[in-house]
Amino acid sequence: MLYLPHLRLQKMPMSIMVSLKKEKKTDAGEMLLFPEAIEPEKSPDWMFADNEEGQLAVDVFETDREIVLKSAIAGVSSDDLDVFLHNDMLTVRGIRRHVSEDCARYMVRECHWGPFSRSVILPKEIEEDRISAVLKDGVLTVRMPKTDRSRRIEISEI
């Protein structure tokens, strides 16, 4: 199964679904199925829903000693970012603040502005008091040292 975490499923009104099926001739003679992509002023409101929470793209990998989460979070200050652990789930939550340009007409609008979050279930036990998070050059790195909780159990003979 293909998993695309950065895409959000949304309901489209039937009238929009019907209009998307219509093809439009351009000056270059190409057929466009989605003219709204190049004519944002004609785009329906659901294409630019700023009030929805975005999902953060992350890389999570394991070394011999730790589990590491990395995520590109450009344009977000550490004051607008929270990282917390609950049981075995690590959550990164924040907000990317949009500085709007007066009288701007977007030609392409792909960036998510507003709140975002991502939760990841950790595959191993970690030392909670030694977790560190660093935001450097727009990349968040969370390091979580693994714990070795296994111990030998004595077997008594009766």
20 and 86 part of one domain: no
The answer to whether position 30 is within a domain reads yes
List the single range of 55-59, 104-108, 125-129 with lowest mean pLDDT: 104-108
Task: Encode 96-127: b = buried (16+ Cβ within 10 Å), e = exposed.
Answer: beeeeeeeeeeeeeeebbeebebebebeeebe
The answer to whether position 8 is within a domain reads no
44 and 88 part of one domain: no
44 and 85 part of one domain: no
Residue predicted with more confidence, 73 or 40: 73
20 and 94 part of one domain: no
Domain membership of residue 25 as a residue range: 13-48
At 26 the pLDDT is 52
At 136 the pLDDT is 94
Q: How many domains does the chain have?
A: 2
Residue predicted with more confidence, 148 or 141: 141
At 3 the pLDDT is 44
What is the mean pLDDT of the segment spanning 127-154?
88
Enter the pTM of the model.
Answer: 0.61
76 and 28 part of one domain: no
The answer to whether position 2 is within a domain reads no
30 and 61 part of one domain: no
Residue type, 91: T
Q: Residue written as tokens 């030609």? A: 107
